[in-house]
Amino acid sequence: MWAFAIYPLVLFMFCVPAVAEVRGEFNSKAVLSESGLSQLEQNLTPSFSLSGDKFRFYSEYRLRIETIDELEPEQFTEPSSSDLSKRMNINDYLEFEVREFFIDGYIDDFFLKLGKQQVVWGQSDGLRVLDVVNPLNYREFILTEFDERRIPLWTVSIETSIGQWQLQTVWVPDQTYDNLPDLRTGATFAFTSPLYVPSTPANQIVNLAEPKASGKIIKDSDVGFRLSTFTNDGWDIGIVYFYHFRDNPVLSRSISNFDVTIEQAYKRSHLIGISASNALGDFILRSEVGYSTNVHYLTNWANSSVDYRVSPQLAGVLGIDYQGISNVFLSGQVFANHITSFSDDIVRKQTEIQYTLRYEQTFENETWTATIQNIQSINRGDGLLQFSINHQYSSVLILTFGADAFYGNNEGLFGQFKSEDRVHFSLNYSF
């Protein structure tokens, strides 16, 4: 917690004279699923900022009260998070989290941002090829906004211009990875698909070892950069390199007598990629491609002599937005992920393809917004259909009603949750 003590000193050094500001949002959400009222929670997210002549301090917190505790039953330990990034689990129903905590500002031509923050790269919506700096929280699978799912990390970010290019370098000493709901606690959105959870013989006792972070802050930190530019003919180009630990654990078996212990470890990878986007009349073209080394793929443990295979991965997204109809936003994306050195004992397909479709329309001077969204796996046919209608009742009050429906093969990423269809209502008040 050293950073929390040091920052105020920095504030005094750089942010005086300063303007202080307190803001926040209160969100109340209720979810009804087949089993009845399955989620009832209140989130208070206050923020405090201090803006000086040269630097700004910004911090945001979240206090969550869960009256019904089915998403993360019991008190969680967050083994995938570093000590500095863990949420404060006060009891089964109450948690506190420092969402963001940073100082940013200019020193000559360099823009520095130091502290707990989000770094977002790439051009795709909801599909991750280059947007891999921050891990995700799958507490509600992918049903909430990306901003809410992304886990901020303690990061040093430095930006500067080099001719017509902008360079952002990041150093991420924070060893925090994806937060996956724990199947053993009966969490609603715990993964059960064999694509992610290996099968083990029924006569064996299976233990799941907690993932372990190395604790070597310097040696095991992530580093990378993004170069971006805007060309004369209207293209936004980005080039990304990131040397990092992939955020999902690699599973392996450790067998002794009739006990099987499943070990979880995180593995390093080099990612290099490029993104490009442009406006072509009423259409926006968005694309990104990434090549990752040393990606580990789960095998079918019943038939394979090894627990995983290692191969490079090539992934890409092509997206098209259409804005040619008044008050309507249409968007489609195709995402493909290819294993370059495939082996038949890998549980997934060599090339996995998903598509997303989004239709959004506003009414009544944009006080009402209706959205329909679909994401589907081409390989398995399973998917997720979402509908929501949102009403801005006043400047500070927004009401939302929506429904989420999973469909398709139980073994698919989306089909595994097809018993978790739900409708939800939320109220958002800002101050």
| Chain residues that interact with other proteins, rule: CB under 8 A | 23-25, 51, 56, 104-106, 111, 113, 118, 120, 122-123, 125, 145-147, 150, 159, 161, 166, 168, 228, 230, 234, 236, 277-279, 281-284, 286, 321, 323-324, 326-327, 329, 362, 364-367, 369, 392-396, 398, 428, 430-431
- Comparison of 7 and 146: residue with beta carbon closer to other proteins: 146
Q: What's the maximum distance between 2 C-alpha atoms anywhere in the chain?
A: 68
Q: Write down the least CB distance from residue 368 to other proteins, Å.
A: 10
- Comparison of 42 and 200: residue with beta carbon closer to other proteins: 42
Distance between CA 414 and CA 423 in Å, rounded?
A: 17
Contacts of residue 163, Cβ cutoff 8 Å, sequence gap at least 6: none
Distance of CA 330 to the CA centre of its chain: 23
Distance between CA 61 and CA 44 in Å, rounded?
A: 8
Q: Write down the least CB distance from residue 359 to other proteins, Å.
A: 13
Q: Strand 94-107 to strand 308-322: parallel, antiparallel, or no bridges (unpaired)?
A: unpaired
- Comparison of 159 and 174: residue with beta carbon closer to other proteins: 159
- Comparison of 203 and 395: residue with beta carbon closer to other proteins: 395
Q: Are 208 and 196 in contact (CB under 8 A)?
A: no
Sign of CA dihedral 82, 85, 90, 94: negative
314: left (phi over 0), alpha (psi -120 to 50) or beta: beta
Q: Are 417 and 12 in contact (CB under 8 A)?
A: no
Distance between CA 264 and CA 300 in Å, rounded?
A: 16
Residue with tokens 């009050």: 397
- Comparison of 278 and 409: residue with beta carbon closer to other proteins: 278
Residue with tokens 């280059």: 130
Q: Write down the least CB distance from residue 65 to other proteins, Å.
A: 20
Q: Write down the least CB distance from residue 364 to other proteins, Å.
A: 7
Among 269, 271, 280, 170, which Cα is nearest to 225's? 170
- Comparison of 200 and 277: residue with beta carbon closer to other proteins: 277
- Comparison of 161 and 204: residue with beta carbon closer to other proteins: 161
- Comparison of 87 and 150: residue with beta carbon closer to other proteins: 150
- Comparison of 93 and 111: residue with beta carbon closer to other proteins: 111
Q: Write down the least CB distance from residue 23 to other proteins, Å.
A: 5
Q: Write down the least CB distance from residue 430 to other proteins, Å.
A: 4
Sheet of strand 250-256, all strands in order from the earlier edge strand to the far edge: 205-208, 259-265, 250-256
- Comparison of 118 and 200: residue with beta carbon closer to other proteins: 118
Q: Write down the least CB distance from residue 426 to other proteins, Å.
A: 13
- Comparison of 185 and 371: residue with beta carbon closer to other proteins: 371
Q: Write down the least CB distance from residue 243 to other proteins, Å.
A: 22
Q: Are 154 and 3 in contact (CB under 8 A)?
A: yes
Q: Write down the least CB distance from residue 206 to other proteins, Å.
A: 38
Q: Write down the least CB distance from residue 320 to other proteins, Å.
A: 11
Distance between CA 193 and CA 410 in Å, rounded?
A: 7
Rounded alpha-carbon distances, angstroms, from residue 379 to 126, 192, 213, 292? 19, 18, 34, 22
Distance between CA 142 and CA 125 in Å, rounded?
A: 12
Q: Which residues of 127-141 are buried (b: 16+ CB within 10 A; e: fewer)?
A: bbbbbbbbbbbbbbb
Q: Write down the least CB distance from residue 116 to other proteins, Å.
A: 14
396: how many CB neighbours lie within 10 A of its CB?
A: 12
Q: Are 320 and 331 in contact (CB under 8 A)?
A: yes
